[in-house]
């Protein structure tokens, strides 16, 4: 089973592309949605985050806005948070992969926002990078509630440049075009991945 990473910098349209992929019946592991669940009441991250960042927990859930303010621009605090969240997300990802494997899926897509900022291509067979022009990226991000120029700059500073991500991609999906053009590109990429998965499956059976 091919493991395909979906990634892209903030504001590039990765969530939109992820929805297009899932709508075509491809199993998609959404890391951000998993983190939301981990931070929700009853989530496995609530207790350890409360211990490390007490102010970030309200009631039985983690307040992501407060948590973001507590760690943004503080490398040691970010590492502390990652040491809590990353193993939990990893466990959920392994569960997802085992289930897809059991169902005989030819390939799955793993939505990994910080793929290049982490271990890069380790553990994946192909990479889809979602990209858009810088001015479009900026306008999208600054339109988000609570976002400021300073916060955007701090986030960008932690992310690998878009040009480097594009250079390291097997497939690039541009969201700086019409929705129909992006949809067409997604269909094209998925067809290519199906062909590749079929070839590898055939060679494995040979």
Per-residue pLDDT band for 205 (boundaries 50, 70, 90) equals: low
Q: What is the pLDDT of residue 122?
A: 75
The average pLDDT across 182-206 equals: 90
pLDDT over 80 (residue 31): yes
| Alpha helix (H) residue ranges in 53-178 | 64-71, 75-102, 134-142, 149-158, 162-167
Quickly count: other Cβ atoms within 10 Å of residue 99's Cβ: 12
Task: Identify the CA nearest to 169 among candidates 128, 197, 131, 132.
Answer: 128
Quickly count: other Cβ atoms within 10 Å of residue 87's Cβ: 12
The average pLDDT across 26-45 equals: 94
Query: What b-and-e string marks burial along 34-43, b requiring 16 or more CB atoms within 10 Å of the CB?
Result: bbebbbeeeb
Torsion of CA 50, 54, 60, 62, to 10 degrees: -80
The average pLDDT across 61-70 equals: 92
Radius of gyration, CA atoms only, the chain = 18
Q: What is the pLDDT of residue 146?
A: 85
Question: Can you give the pTM of this predicted structure?
Answer: 0.83
Q: What is the pLDDT of residue 187?
A: 97
Q: What is the pLDDT of residue 120?
A: 64
Per-residue pLDDT of 93-125, as tens digits, reads: 999 999 999 999 999 999 988 889 877 677 899
């Amino acid at each position: 089973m091919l493991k395909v990473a979906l990634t892209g910098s903030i504001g590039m349209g990765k969530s939109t592309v992820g929805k297009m992929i899932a709508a075509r019946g491809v199993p998609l592991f959404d890391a951000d949605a998993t983190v939301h669940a981990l931070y929700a009441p009853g989530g496995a991250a609530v207790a350890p985050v409360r211990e490390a960042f007490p102010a970030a927990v309200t009631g039985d859930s983690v307040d992501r806005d407060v948590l973001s303010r507590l760690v943004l621009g503080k490398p040691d605090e970010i590492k502390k948070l990652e040491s809590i969240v990353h193993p939990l997300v990893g466990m959920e990802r392994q569960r997802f992969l085992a289930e897809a494997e059991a169902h005989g899926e030819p390939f799955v897509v793993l939505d990994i926002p910080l793929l290049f900022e982490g271990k890069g291509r380790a553990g994946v067979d192909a990479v889809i990078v979602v990209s858009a022009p810088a001015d479009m990226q900026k306008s999208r991000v600054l339109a988000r509630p609570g976002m400021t120029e300073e916060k955007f700059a701090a986030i960008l500073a932690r992310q690998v440049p878009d040009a480097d991500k594009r250079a390291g991609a097997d497939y690039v999906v541009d969201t700086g075009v019409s929705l129909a053009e992006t949809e067409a590109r997604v269909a094209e990429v998925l067809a290519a991945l199906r062909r590749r998965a079929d070839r590898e499956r055939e060679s494995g059976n040979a």
